[in-house]
Amino acid sequence: MSKEDFYNEISHAIINLDEEKAVEYANTAIREKMKLVDVIENGFAAGIRKVGELWEEGEFFLPELMRGAQIMQNCLDLIIPNLQSVSDKISRGIVVIATIEGDIHSIGKTIVATMLRAYGYDVYDLGSDVPVEKIVEEAIEKKADIIGVSALLTTTMTGQKKVIDLLKEKNLVNKFKVILGGAPVTKSWVEECSANGFAGNAIDAVKLVKSLLDK
């Protein structure tokens, strides 16, 4: 089977809510020492995004969306401990990351946190539905270089801007670089928020953090 076919099979297992197959593919990818980041992005993430589209189109109902997310999470729980660290043990910087308050979407944020760890950053993952004040407090306490804020809902994206507004209010805006992520985030939103950048996937997130800290 070609790599592309394998990614498609994974994606279909998620769309069909077939946990047994999805887990089998996750284990195959680990056993075969495949590039797990690509397996996540091109297989599992592609599948769950399609589930989201089907839900939006009314083909799926909320329990199916939730089941798809649960299957994806179970597979990630298998894969993530096997993501090899690609860096030495020297810390390349400190990142505090969270999904903004009101928003429980955690899958993408967790993947980004995992990838950053694999690339040698110290990552404090505060979880999801995290208040603006808490994100800023933790960034100060952990002496973060970077604050990453995830939002998957158009209604919660405004919280990303609130993080930067609070930093401005506290005169801390030059102390941290703030990066944004999540499906609805665009370049123009990043500019509107005066954030330092955004990334559409975990590999680009690592590149972004590296470029901001190398400056």
Q: Which residues bind ligand B12 (CB under 6 A)?
A: 41, 45, 48-49, 51-53, 55-56, 62, 65-66, 69, 97, 102-109, 111-112, 148-150, 152-155, 179-184, 198-202, 205
Rounded least distance, CB 148 to ligand B12, Å: 3
Complex with ligand B12: residue 16 or 89, whichever CB lies closer: 16
Complex with ligand B12: residue 88 or 205, whichever CB lies closer: 205
Whole-number Cα distances in Å, 79 to 24, 53, 63, 74: 11, 25, 24, 9
The tokens describing 19, both together, are 């946990």
> 127: closest CA among 171, 84, 97, 87?
97
Rounded least distance, CB 129 to ligand B12, Å: 7
Rounded least distance, CB 132 to ligand B12, Å: 15
What span, in angstroms and rounded, lies between the C-alpha atoms of 3 and 1?
7
What span, in angstroms and rounded, lies between the C-alpha atoms of 1 and 194?
46
Complex with ligand B12: residue 6 or 109, whichever CB lies closer: 109
Complex with ligand B12: residue 6 or 43, whichever CB lies closer: 43
DSSP state of 84: P
